[in-house]
Amino acid sequence: MNSDTHSGTLTPETRSRLVTAAKDAARSSYAPYSRFHVGAALLCPDGTIVPGTNVENRSYGLAICAERSAIASAVTSGHTRFNAIAVFSPDADYPVSPCGACRQVISEFMPPDALVIFVDRHGTEEPHTVAEIMPYDALHELKDRPVD
């Protein structure tokens, strides 16, 4: 097992590939209202990288963030566990973290020690773990309870 298959550690090459995939995904962003383009990329345990981008709607509440877009695409492809995610915006002067809804969805599919990397337009990377961005995560045991 290489270091990329365990959460929290990535080789420099894998980290670079992940961030590059997030940057590439941001180019596909559909953000005509906010003009805030975001790309995300997930690293699956088998090394697969799955991109996602934000998709807005004139009814703002129906927008889909890049992180959730990537997760939905990955789940559709049969992936349900992830070791890392990179989030990039070419429109941000500082590394922007996932919103609260995305943090909740990220914590559903990623272990507490999984790496979450925020990246700004200048290439500044801000690495954190899921536990750091979602410190009081709870209720994972609900998946394991018996069905009545």
Cross-strand partners of 129: 115
Give the CATH number of the domain where residue 17 resides: 3.40.140.10
Residue ranges making up the domain that contains 99: 3-144
What is the pLDDT confidence band of residue 118, given thresholds at 50, 70 and 90? Answer: very high
Of 67, 108, 126, 141, catalytic: 67
Q: Where are the beta strands (DSSP E) in 27-142?
A: 39-43, 49-53, 84-88, 115-119, 125-129
Residues 48-102: pLDDT tens digits?
999 999 999 999 889 999 999 999 999 999 999 999 999 999 999 999 999 999 9
138 versus 1: which is more confidently predicted?
138
What interhelical angle do 100-109 and 66-76 show, nearest 10? 30
Q: What pLDDT, on a 0 to 100 scale, did the predictor assign at position 5? A: 47
Contact 81, 87 (CB under 8 A): no
Q: Is 13 annotated in the active site?
A: no
The tally of domains found in the chain comes to 1
Contact 25, 41 (CB under 8 A): yes
